Amino acid sequence: MLARKLLLSFFMEIAVLSTAAHYGLGFSIALSITAAALCIVIVRVAAALVSFLLTETFRSPRSESTHIGMRGWLRLLYAEVWAVLRVFFVLHPLEPWLNRPEPPVPATGTPVLLVHGFFSNGGYWWGIKRYLRRNGIVALYTLNLEPLFADIDELAEQLAQRVAAIRRASGRPRVVLVAHSMGGLVCRAYLQRNGAAGHVARLVTLGTPHAGTVLARLLPGPNLRQMRPRSGWLMALRERERGGPAVATTCIYSVHDNIIAPQDSGTLPGAKNIPVAGVGHLEMTFSPIIQDLVLQTLTIDA
């Protein structure tokens, strides 16, 4: 499970760096552990800041109405860094506890399955889940897509199994899919399977690279190659969707996304595309703007 792997990886990083600081620099054990933890945090924060620089280089044109100014940029950077720290050091490791037990069968409405993105797990959804529950949507399900670099079509098979399990457990014929980042591509691949569209009432994507992202060129792996702009996989998927999305689809994307570039890759022909400004990629689960838009979309047919 990714949560355990991330937690183990974190402690291994702490152990290696603190050992080096203790024996190599002569630090006390307490100071070595503190320095190691601080170093790991700094690396994560630096990566978030670098991502903004990279995506600004390849950004989409922005309208005047999305201008956020210097104060807006400072708030954006702070919020995304704070999201990075919460997601990677709290939500991901604690996922096995955050998403248990399974939600109750809804008296009315359709179950909602939340599909995470690359290098993530079901713990990512904690912010949006809290908001939706407070507003009466309680049948919220998650899943963990593994392994990390798997082909997106393989991940779509895992999604198919999870949808089938939720339909059996809830007795409902369809589910609503809400997906972040790569999760939206997993959902689109799943919906192209024979009969899958009949099991889904609606798809909502948040910051999904529907047309790819240039940052996917920085790392290897099957799913990252598939997420590169104009990849063969993306072009084939678009060809299969020539008549438009398989189900009613809403794409919520940020014109200041620091992972998806160009940012208008978050749109999809034939879908309802909703741009927002001043929201980072991982911040989406915590953003009141995004949370409210998701709620509005989920209650359209309620």
Note the pLDDT tens digit of each residue in 118-149: 999 999 999 999 999 999 999 999 999 999 99
Instruction: Please determine, for residue 2, whether its predicted confidence score (pLDDT) is greater than 70.
Output: no
Strand partners, 177: 113, 203
Provide the residue type at 179 as one letter.
Answer: A
pLDDT of residue 108: 73
Which class in CATH covers the domain with range 95-298? alpha beta
**Cis omega (within 30 of 0) for bond into 229:** no
291 burial class (0-12, 13-18, 19+ CB within 10 angstroms)?
buried
Using one digit for the tens of pLDDT, what is the confidence trace for 144-203?
Answer: 999 999 999 999 999 999 999 999 999 999 999 999 999 999 999 999 999 999 999 999
What does pTM read for this prediction?
0.90
Least confident of 88-92, 195-199, 264-268: 88-92
Enumerate the domain spans of the chain.
2-91, 95-298
